[in-house]
Amino acid sequence: MTEPYLRSGIFLAPFHNHDENPTLSIERDFELLQHLDRLNYHEAWIGEHHSGGFEVIACPEMFIAAAAERTRNIRLGTGVVSLPYHNPFIVADRMVQLDHMTRGRAMFGVGPGALVHDALKQGIQPGDQRRMMNESLDVVVRLLHGETVTAKTDWFNLVEARLQLPSYTQPTMELAVAAARSPAGGLAAGKHGIGMLSIGGTSPEALARHKANWELYEQEARTHGHVPDRRKWRLVGLMHIAETREQARKNVEFGLTAFTDYFRDVATFPIVPPDVTDPYAFMVESGTACIGTPDDAIAYIERLLEGSGGFGVVCELAHNWADWEQTKRHFELMARFVHPHFQRSREPLKHSYDFAAQHHIDFISQASAAVQAEIDRHAARRAAEAQKSAAE
């Protein structure tokens, strides 16, 4: 990958322990996006979940509409809309409206749906979800490109369906497909030449899966006439940093256990194996997460870049391991000390400083000579004026 600039983002499921006030949890998510907007984070992806009691946003489009009113620059994506849960014509129409309402800051992330209980509540069998995602995505892409679509499956029927609004972002808003363990996401993203959101951990084993999915993406993209672009690839990592490793470890005592319990008890795959008694040690030692300092975060991201071959956006999973003040501090440290390392924003400053320092003695000499010359010119003018006055 030749592109050196690594964009920053978050993946906001969101995760909130069920012992808290859910209304305030949602409000804090809005405050988080405002905080990230001020810190120059590039994007945030907001999830859709309907069960499990931990991920509390049911409609990412509704949340994004409100968040867009409270922020200025950060791009806001659905992370993801679970396509099997919606008629493809309706979801495409809603996303185009959101594209207009946000003046092009909306992004459309899709997936099959992560929680089995969400699907079963709607009479959807888990084994059908990926097929349904692909059937829907095929239609959605055509609709967003202005086509009239007639298509019938066992779960939707479109008859000469055509969107009444064009996309605000031309030719369409940015699209991405979630990819975790199955190849479905990578294949779907590659087929349409759109972005890929890699979730599901960053251990060496998980990173190998992400890399394999990207290779599938590349093959499928070329088969369908698209040019693979790693800048469209987002990789989701787990991080919490503080000024010291000791402080970071202390901070995550707030919510790490509840987070790992949720993935053991409810979610479809455990991040921490059931027999692990110290989730902090496992996370750090296995490479699943970075819990440490800004330097540790830089090393962690560099490992992800090397192991994957390169991607365009590093997305942090917004996990609420730490309490609110420590969470905000984490993101501030990331923006101040980690992101500049990968965005090369400090190099020109350092070059300018080093050049000035290397020529400091010469510059002082020239400055002193210039000042003295001005002093001498002023003295000469005064002397000439005095001489002229005396002659008169």
Angle between helices 129-144 and 184-192 (to 10 degrees): 20
Q: What is the 3-state secondary structure (H, E, C) of 253-307?
A: HHCHHHHHHHHHHCCCCCCCCCCCCCHHHHHHHHCCCEEECHHHHHHHHHHHHHH
Q: How far apart are CA 91 and CA 316, in angstroms?
A: 26
Q: Residue 3: its pLDDT value, please?
A: 54
Look up the pTM and report it.
0.93
Low-confidence residues in the chain, pLDDT < 70: 1-4
Q: Residue 128: its pLDDT value, please?
A: 97
| Single-letter amino acid code for the residue at 72 | R
Q: Residue 331: its pLDDT value, please?
A: 98
CB atoms within 10 A of CB 117: 13
Give Rg (Cα) of the chain. Answer: 27
Question: Going along the chain, which residue ranges are E strands?
Answer: 7-12, 43-46, 75-82, 106-111, 149-152, 157-161, 175-179, 195-198, 233-237, 239-241, 290-292, 313-317
Contact 131, 113 (CB under 8 A): no
Q: Is 344 left (phi over 0), alpha (psi -120 to 50) or beta?
A: left
Q: Is 40 left (phi over 0), alpha (psi -120 to 50) or beta?
A: left
Question: DSSP assignment of 164-193, as one string?
Answer: SS--SSSS---EEEEESSSSHHHHHHHHHT
